[in-house]
């Protein structure tokens, strides 16, 4: 019987793997080690073994007589609406570091604040990784451990839900069947989706001000000028270097002929970029800031529904020091717009480049 694509289901680790090589184990009670992921796209992981042959060797023939598997690779790309809980997991995988506090543990004990920022790459070049699971009816049940985030893009346009786009690359290990059971099937080890709190672009506030002093603030939303915005974290992963001689990591443990899988996925470089589009006004001074390389403070804030007391689900993206890198004049429905690409700068005095603050009800993204 054919399998409809609507039978697809995905899951990932609730917290990152303990290390690159250790797959997240399944369990059957809360807190579950694997959680469901709700996505828009219909993509599945692109798994591929790399095979070699002996064509051109001294076989006495134009044709190869042997084919052997050298290594395995897997990539994945997902599109999703950004909800208050799940975005923290992707931010931790992309940036590498999170600090969690309770702003008011006594008065509002269900409120948690998480601050994500790039990890200390002088301490480790290994970003956190996750175990990814895919199921499609009774025809596919597969698990891919050690998936690292190569790219994370968060963007908003109009009044729609804020969008997420994430790209993974894994060790190449593929386990099927996965051993993962999605609720409501009996003895499940991935629970049902709970109530999700989504961020929408109608909750947006965008502010640009002078760096450090925060003088001359421009509240773009107050003048109804914002059209769209985006933040992108791009990680250059040393993928080919991850196949380490002597590591002894193979697709089938102990079988040296089954093809190598990665033993690590180190970070070679990281780029954080932003962009936003606003309506052009007569008094706009964006070009003056571009020409003078003015240093600015850039902040995007999304404020969702109330959690408790004065605390609301909040996503705040802030770069305390940045400069405009490019500005293009365009139009939308006949109204002139500015497409602005700011370049986040590393502040040597504070050790910061970009921080993302998330307020929600998740107690921890690491334990």
Asked if the structure places residue 217 within a domain, the reply is yes
Give how many domains the chain has, as a whole number.
1
State how far the alpha carbon of 31 is from the alpha carbons of 28, 100, 121, in Å.
Answer: 9, 18, 30
pTM: 0.95
Q: Cα 29 vs. chain centroid, distance in angstroms? A: 26
- Pairing state between β 226-237 and 140-157: antiparallel
Asked if the structure places residue 145 within a domain, the reply is yes
Q: What is the pLDDT along the chain (367 residues), one digit of tens a residue?
A: 789 999 999 999 999 999 999 999 999 999 999 999 999 999 999 999 999 999 999 999 999 999 999 999 999 999 999 999 999 999 999 999 999 999 999 999 999 999 999 999 999 999 999 999 999 999 999 999 999 999 999 999 999 999 999 999 999 999 999 999 999 999 999 999 999 999 999 999 999 999 999 999 988 988 889 999 999 999 999 999 999 999 999 999 999 999 999 999 999 999 999 999 999 988 788 999 999 999 999 999 999 999 999 999 999 999 999 999 999 999 999 999 999 999 999 998 888 999 999 999 999 999 9
Asked if the structure places residue 136 within a domain, the reply is yes
Asked if the structure places residue 366 within a domain, the reply is no
Q: Count H helices, E strands: the chain? A: 2, 17
Element (H, E) at 287: helix 286-291
CA distance 87 to 80: 10
Asked if the structure places residue 291 within a domain, the reply is yes
CA distance 327 to 256: 54
Asked if the structure places residue 254 within a domain, the reply is yes
CA distance 112 to 104: 9
Asked if the structure places residue 367 within a domain, the reply is no
Residue-number span of the structural domain to which 164 is assigned: 5-360
Compute the 3-state secondary structure of the chain and give helix, strand, coil in percent, each to the nearest 5.
5, 50, 45
By the 8 A CB rule, do 151 and 95 touch? no
Asked if the structure places residue 354 within a domain, the reply is yes
């Amino acid at each position: 019987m054919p399998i409809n694509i609507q039978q697809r289901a995905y899951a990932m680790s609730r917290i990152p793997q303990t290390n690159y090589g250790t797959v997240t184990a399944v369990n059957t009670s809360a807190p579950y080690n694997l959680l469901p992921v709700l996505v828009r796209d219909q993509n599945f992981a692109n798994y591929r073994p790399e095979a070699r042959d002996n064509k051109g060797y001294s076989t006495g023939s134009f044709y190869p007589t042997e084919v052997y598997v050298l290594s395995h690779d897997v990539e994945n790309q997902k599109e999703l609406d950004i909800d208050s809980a799940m975005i923290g997991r992707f931010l931790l995988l992309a940036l590498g570091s999170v600090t969690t506090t309770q702003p008011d543990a006594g008065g509002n004990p269900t409120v948690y604040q998480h601050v994500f920022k790039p990890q200390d790459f002088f301490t480790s070049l290994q970003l956190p990784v996750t175990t990814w699971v895919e199921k499609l009816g009774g025809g596919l049940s597969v698990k891919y451990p050690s998936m690292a985030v190569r790219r994370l893009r968060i963007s908003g346009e109009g009044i729609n839900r804020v969008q997420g786009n994430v790209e993974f690359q894994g060790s190449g290990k593929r386990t099927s069947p996965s051993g993962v059971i999605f609720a409501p099937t009996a003895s499940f080890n991935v629970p049902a989706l709970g109530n999700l709190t989504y961020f929408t672009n109608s909750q947006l506030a965008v502010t640009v001000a002078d760096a450090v002093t925060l003088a001359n603030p421009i509240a773009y939303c107050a003048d109804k000028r914002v059209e769209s915005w985006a933040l992108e974290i791009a990680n250059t992963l040393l993928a080919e270097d991850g196949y380490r001689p002597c590591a002894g990591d193979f697709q089938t443990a102990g079988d040296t002929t089954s093809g190598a899988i990665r033993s690590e996925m180190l970070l070679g470089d990281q780029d954080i970029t932003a962009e936003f589009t606003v309506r052009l006004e007569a008094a706009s001074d964006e070009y003056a800031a571009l020409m003078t390389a003015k240093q600015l403070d850039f902040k995007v804030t999304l404020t969702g529904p109330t959690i408790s007391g004065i605390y609301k689900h909040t996503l705040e993206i802030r770069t305390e020091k940045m400069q405009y890198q490019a500005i293009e004049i365009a139009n939308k429905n006949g109204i002139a717009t500015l497409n602005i690409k700011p370049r986040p700068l590393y502040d040597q005095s504070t050790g910061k480049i970009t921080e993302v603050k998330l307020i929600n009800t998740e107690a921890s993204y690491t334990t």
